[in-house]
Structure 1
């Protein structure tokens, strides 16, 4: 009995991942999203007419990509992409030792929802609240309706809700370190699963399952077509996961390179004085006699600017009312099409204003 108990204890200790492993796999996906977002932004700025829709619909496209990727790994590896990358798997949250690879359908779908939809909804909520705060800063304060007061109460309460959620995560991780609980994240607790290390039997099971799925089953033409479609979908998912595995460290490097701390250092090392405007543009402007060619006219309304505001992403100056309405509706510069937000509007004070 003592030998059996020692064997179970050693097996549980070997299967239980450390806090460093679970935090590393979480930081992996947290670094992929902002790095991929910056790559899409650079692509959209290089050609707004062709790739601008990628930037405007980035959240939805990333959600679709995340759903396909996580569903593939949950079905074939019983783990998310980052968990499988670090040699982990998801097992039922009970106290029994995991004996085989695989999740029940309810646990798999619950894990998929919590892995993909919860971060998407949180990102959309934070973006909406940030945009509404910017609009309030730039708008005139009027009498508030009941819905507006309810919204302001929601905005005021969100930081406390977010702080409570982060405190719950910290307490869960602290209990996981001391062995009080077997899950380090509230999302795993809600999905009723926990993390464990992959073993040799799990790897053999995954290889056998992959070999079985690669052989089309004999049957009706409809079954063969469905098998071929399934293999094509698996091939796309495998190629996508392989490319992400190879490029994940490059994406992490991008996320670090374009961080605020690193960018301040780069700007101090590479900052150069602004060159003067080209002379031929000044000459052309001096000989241009077209109506509306005055440098003080708004590019949108073609009239003399009122309450001049510059769009920092492009440098063009507009009327505040014109550019505020346009950027709020289209989220890009009306002249060159660069992706822009309301926080890029800067009020300027001209000598004659």
Structure 2
């Protein structure tokens, strides 16, 4: 996938990516989840019986898909999906170590844990704290037990902890820009890896690994079953990555379309005053503008009857005769039959 991207920058002299590349790959996955969440919400609202469980278990299902996707790319490309999309790879964090494709098993599992589980736990924590804040806003609860007091203290301390974490990320990125550190994100530092650009040799190694994995190794039944399982998981991961690669720009468009700024613009446009009715429907004089008169006989309506096709009200005898002869509304021309006549009962009757 990386070799097919127009943004591949491995031809540059330095192996270390720029701050624009690393921030772009981070924003890619940040835009995918909200847009995918909105797509699932639309499906759930259109057909709750079939797609309601997708909305209720969206975080867990997204975590499962994310684990499959990221594990496939970490295993075959030594990078996450977004990093590989921008022509990057993960290498060991030491300065003197060779920059080769492939991660040790412990490093790969550590990267997978920080890539998938940490965002999931953070989203769950923020959702729980948001519900707690709503309960605190609409009710008064005195903390009586020790666990309740600790929970309230955690809710109060989370904004400060989150601010400290964001400040750490900002300082790390600032130091990365000036070359003082080799990782732009604390999660990469915790995983003991850093980002580097893909080279032509890395691309050839990935193609060679793909060709080698196309045939089973070993002759035992257990080995063949393991190979079939791994191939199935690989197929799922490749399908996910391909669909995400093709739909990533569409998902980013959805994320922009349903953003608060754009929705404010749409609301402003849709809140404009309605245009006046067509002039040919306006009455010519004050007598005709009287809504108690029949548009056909120009007299006070007798036995008022409405047309369900247009909404206009006539005398029953007038509109019955006209519709039976012409099969249309006399004012709008809409096709109308006798079954479209609706009797209007006044309070006096």
Q: TM-score range by the shorter chain?
A: 0.7 to 0.9
Hey, what does 2:248 align to over in structure 1?
248
Q: Is the 8 A contact 2:176 2:182 kept in 1?
A: yes
| SS in structure 1 of the partner of residue 195 of structure 2 | strand
1:271 Cα deviation (Å)?
3.3
Task: Report the counterpart of residue 160 of structure 2 in structure 1.
Answer: 160
Deviations for 1:16-44, whole angstroms, at most 9, x for unmatched residues? Answer: 00000000000000011111111111111
* Contact 1:91-1:194 at 8 Å conserved across structures: yes
The alignment partner of 2:96 has SS state of coil
Q: What is the CA–CA distance in structure 2 between the aligned matches of 1:62 and 1:258, rounded to whole Å?
A: 20
- The unaligned stretches of length 5 or more in structure 2 are 1-10, 275-305, 307-349
Q: State the TM-score, normalized to the length of structure 2.
A: 0.73
- Tell me, in whole angstroms, the C-alpha distance in 2 between the residues paired with 1:152 and 1:143: 8
- In the alignment, the residues of structure 2 paired with residue 203 and residue 146 of structure 1 have an alpha-carbon distance, to the nearest angstrom, of 57
Q: What SS is found at the alignment partner of 2:183? A: coil
Q: Which has the higher contact order (CA 8 A, sep 6+)?
A: 1
- Runs of 4+, deviation exceeding 4 Å: none
Aligned to 2:133: 133
Alpha-carbon shift at residue 52 of structure 1 (Å): 1.0
Aligned-partner SS, 1:184: coil
CA distance in 2, matches of 1:272, 1:49: 37
Where structure 1 has 5 or more consecutive residues not aligned to the other structure, the ranges are 1-10, 280-353
Give the TM-score normalised by structure 1. 0.72
Q: Which has the higher helix share?
A: 1
Aligned with 1:84: secondary structure? Answer: helix
Counterpart of 1:328 in structure 2 is none
The DSSP-based 3-state class of the residue aligned with 1:15 is coil
Task: State the partner residue of 1:72.
Answer: 72
SS in 2 for 1:14: coil
Contact 1:44–1:54, Cα closer than 8 Å, also in 2? yes
State the Cα distance separating 1:97 from its structure 2 match.
5.3
1:240 to partner: Cα distance: 1.1
Residues 143 and 149 in structure 2, CA contact (< 8 A), matched pair in contact too: no
* CA 1:212–1:37: 2 relative to 1, 3 Å: same
Cα deviations by residue, 1:252-282 (Å, 9 ceiling, x for unpaired): 11111101111011111123789xxxx9xxx
Give the direction of change, closer, same or farther, for the CA distance of 1:12–1:93 in structure 2 (3 Å limit): farther
Task: Work out whether residues 91 and 196 of structure 1, in 8 Å CA contact, stay in contact via their aligned partners in 2.
Answer: yes
The answer to whether the Cα contact below 8 Å between 1:31 and 1:251 also exists between their aligned partners in 2 is yes
